[in-house]
Structure 1
């Protein structure tokens, strides 16, 4: 069994917050990241999602 680290918990929290629609800038501030680029490292591409889901045809 793998041990859970504080980094893993932060990554898990951030990834799932973003998937749930949390604002990226809010997460940046709550994680105390100076640059949004650091927070963007938590972004992942999911096969179920894409930018087309935000377009209203």
Structure 2
């Protein structure tokens, strides 16, 4: 009976551990994504600029 209880407890903890690991990964990647988006938005010319300046 104790072995079955331990097995159920372990089975329940696996998804919780996976979720915790996924959340940690997302939290760690968030600053990288924000930085990339800031760089891309700073370098993309606006549609108006390309219409006025044919070199863009």
TM-score (ref. length: structure 1): 0.31
Larger proportion of helix: 2
Report the structure number with the largest CA radius of gyration: 2
Higher relative contact order (CA 8 A, sep 6+): 1
